[in-house]
Structure 1
């Protein structure tokens, strides 16, 4: 393992191209310290929550972040290969009836009843008849539901905060032999919160990544494509706060337009296949009549 690693200290350094060297032991020590401090904040917040459902939600989020953090630090310590995230085993999916419509899922982040939310992902989900608005904690159910779609149906995944981290997890899980290497037509991430989920797998055609122009607790940095020849990744800096980025009107407009474009392209492709089939049938019938 190399004695030093090159990385960016902050998003500002990333944008200006300033690199710094930190020894691996020092970096790991800093990572562990951050995890301990921020996990303590999550625990304290849970203790102060006045509603039990909020306390449970915070505890679940804290558990996920702690697990992700430990996994990330362990990978860094042993210099684990980057390909490991895509090679994760996927549990067998039980046989269920197919769902013959597009898979359009919107995964929200940590939801607290004590905090009001206006015009978030739920509003965009309502704009599409096949849109489904769920929690980041429903990742396994979404995975099962996506696999019930025929392969000619598009897959669109949109996530904010912990939901952004969850949709990247889903894309990686779909990029496996067990899942049939399913293509994700559109992946939208809004200020994802998590660890080690900045690399977008090659089964994703396009990723729109809306990110804050400043640091936030546990938020991921710019996304990069594992294979730029198969995946188009667009990082978009936003001035809003973490809880407001999913409410911005121009963000809604761009997501709406991207989803509509995917659905239109899928419809046109199916129509072309249908017309090609009709033409072949007509041609064969005409050949038989002339013989």
Structure 2
């Protein structure tokens, strides 16, 4: 086996983890594929004999590629809307859904997208993937102590602005189904009982003309909006998983997705609703399934290991 064959084999073996790392860092499936392609190209400058831990080495390599992409993205930030995009899959067995290694809640993606590149890298690689700060520090070009501070600062922002679900999938589904039923009926009072007092409703329109406020806060404002638009919109919705949690996709009469909505449920109350209306981020087919934790699955442009 020559060097490139060895690298191709290692990339194929570790691709599910590398895709999960890249998705949490970049939030875009197209950018994930670009990052893995660039990582493949960079292996041509590496010596396999010097690599003792291929998994850690490849994670570091992908981390370097991703921080370069994040910094380039930040440099042209004024030209960009939110860069994250949802992963949508059929709602089925919750145990099967847990295999979706790329799943990370939309509320978390929104906040991760607002972090500085080094902060995002530090908290993702250390907190989500267990990479030691000494290794992360090499990627971000800081000391280990400074990298710990980056992660700590990012962690505080995530706690404050990205509530995580505290309900299993069956409980999430019950709450979301009840919300849809109340929205279809235009029942303001029923909607209020399902919303946390400080619920946040975010809409990502992209290049589409604004169809809803970009941001609403508070149960009263969100319930009023849902009661007004729900009788028309909710009847178009079917249940799906959105980034591993309960959500819905709305389809037009031809079955084309026109919106994806993710819900964050905490103690039987909805604390965040994220609606994606940007046509560039919606599933292009009947349903875009999330990548699963199986080597070689899912779309990719990484030709040498497909």
**TM-score category of the 2 structures, normalised to the smaller one:** under 0.3
Whose helix proportion is higher, 1 or 2? Answer: 2
- Point out which structure has higher relative CO (alpha carbons under 8 A, 6+ apart): 2
* TM-score, structure 1 as length reference: 0.26
Pair member with larger Rg: 1
